[in-house]
Amino acid sequence: MKKKNMGKMVTILILLLISGVYIIPIIMMVFGSFKTQGEALQMNLSLPKQLQFENYKHVIETGGILRGYTNSLFITVTAVAVIIVFGAMTGIIISRRDDKKGRGLYYYFVFGLTATMQMVTTYALVLKLNLYGSYLSVILVLAAVNLPFAVMTFSSYVKGIPREIDEAAVMDGCHSFQLIFKILLPIMKPITITNLIIAAIGIWNNFQVPLYLMSSSERTTIPMMIFNFYGLYSRDWNYVFAALVITVLPIVILYLCLQKYIVEGMTSGAVKG
């Protein structure tokens, strides 16, 4: 019994140490966003002597953060919607078809998980399609990058849903789209929210794709705004910290609100796959 308790304590201690690697920089960032320039340059975990709310006001007024928010929000919401809709439909088709075409499609998306995005060829394709500099180019590329994972997780989850549900819905007069969006998708709520969170975090924080495919400063996203802001205020870490807090806050809130579905969705998909 003592050995078990000792093992649990060691495990907890190790997990706390690992958590500290992630938590300490976050605490430093939040505290630093309320400090003066001199205090923030010390890069420590001390509390600010006086809360400097002016840091946030300065960042919002001079950093173009609100414009970046609008662009990132539009790109993220649209791309995630594409990923969820097409990922769910494709995953359902793959899981319900037991033939060569279904298996071929399955392995096609498996390859998509292992293949890395080649920015040079992607850039050339976007130019060829006359999409360079548009929101659509960024949305389609980011959706394509995240779609294989969504398809695989949806497909794995649907395998655990009895086919009798499909048959009963068809007998009641449901056509294909009604079956997917009115019957199966509500059942797949945990894996849907899992994909929503994972895709939203990746797309919101993506820097590379907008950097190469956006030509207008009016369409720059939050990560690009932060990059430009840091270039102007590289020694004003109080402003940099404030900008980072503003940037990560929406995703952190979204994750905290929906985190229980991520665990449920991933574990259910793993068991049902």
Among 220, 236, 264, give the residue marking a domain's end.
220
What is the pLDDT, as a whole number, of residue 149? 92
Residues 95 and 18 in one domain: no
What is the pLDDT, as a whole number, of residue 273? 43
pLDDT digit string (tens) for 13-66? 888 888 888 888 889 999 999 999 888 888 888 888 889 999 998 888 887 788
- pLDDT bucket at 76, cuts 50 / 70 / 90: very high
| Cα angle for residues 59, 255, 44 (degrees, 5° grid) | 50
Residues 18 and 46 in one domain: yes
Q: Tell me, what CATH number does 197's domain have?
A: 1.10.3720.10
Global pTM value: 0.83
Residue 273, domain member (yes or no): no
| Residues 6 or more apart in contact with residue 135 via CB below 8 angstroms | 71, 74, 75, 78, 219
pLDDT digit string (tens) for 200-237? 999 999 998 998 998 777 888 888 888 877 777 777 88
Residues 75 and 13 in one domain: no
Residues 41 and 125 in one domain: no
Among 220, 237, 260, give the residue marking a domain's end.
220
**How many domains, the chain?**
2
Residues 140 and 98 in one domain: yes
Query: Which amino acid is located at 243 in the chain?
Result: A
Residues 74 and 45 in one domain: no
What is the pLDDT, as a whole number, of residue 257? 81
Q: How far apart are CA 121 and CA 20, in angstroms?
A: 40
Residue 131, domain member (yes or no): yes
Helical ranges in 159-236 per DSSP H: 163-171, 176-178, 185-187, 189-204, 208-213, 222-232
Give the residue numbers spanning the domain of 164: 67-220
Residue 250, domain member (yes or no): no
Q: For residue 254, with 0-12 CB atoms within 10 Å meaning exposed, 13-18 middle and 19 or more buried, which class applies?
A: middle
Among 27, 51, 75, give the residue marking a domain's end.
51
pLDDT digit string (tens) for 93-102? 888 887 788 7
Q: Quick one: what percent of the chain has pLDDT higher than 90?
A: 26
Residue 242, domain member (yes or no): no
Residue 244, domain member (yes or no): no
Residues 37 and 93 in one domain: no
- pLDDT bucket at 110, cuts 50 / 70 / 90: confident
Best CA proximity match to 157, nearest among 258, 255, 87, 109 = 87
Residues 171 and 106 in one domain: yes
Residues 103 and 141 in one domain: yes
Residues 176 and 106 in one domain: yes
pLDDT digit string (tens) for 134-179? 999 999 999 999 999 999 899 888 888 888 888 888 888 888 788 8
Residues 40 and 73 in one domain: no
Q: How far apart are CA 122 and CA 69, in angstroms?
A: 25
Residue 168, domain member (yes or no): yes
Residue 160, domain member (yes or no): yes
Q: How far apart are CA 193 and CA 143, in angstroms?
A: 16
- pLDDT bucket at 266, cuts 50 / 70 / 90: low
What is the pLDDT, as a whole number, of residue 264? 60
Residues 83 and 195 in one domain: yes
| Residues 6 or more apart in contact with residue 192 via CB below 8 angstroms | 84, 88, 185, 265
Span 178-187, mean pLDDT? 85
Residue 254, domain member (yes or no): no
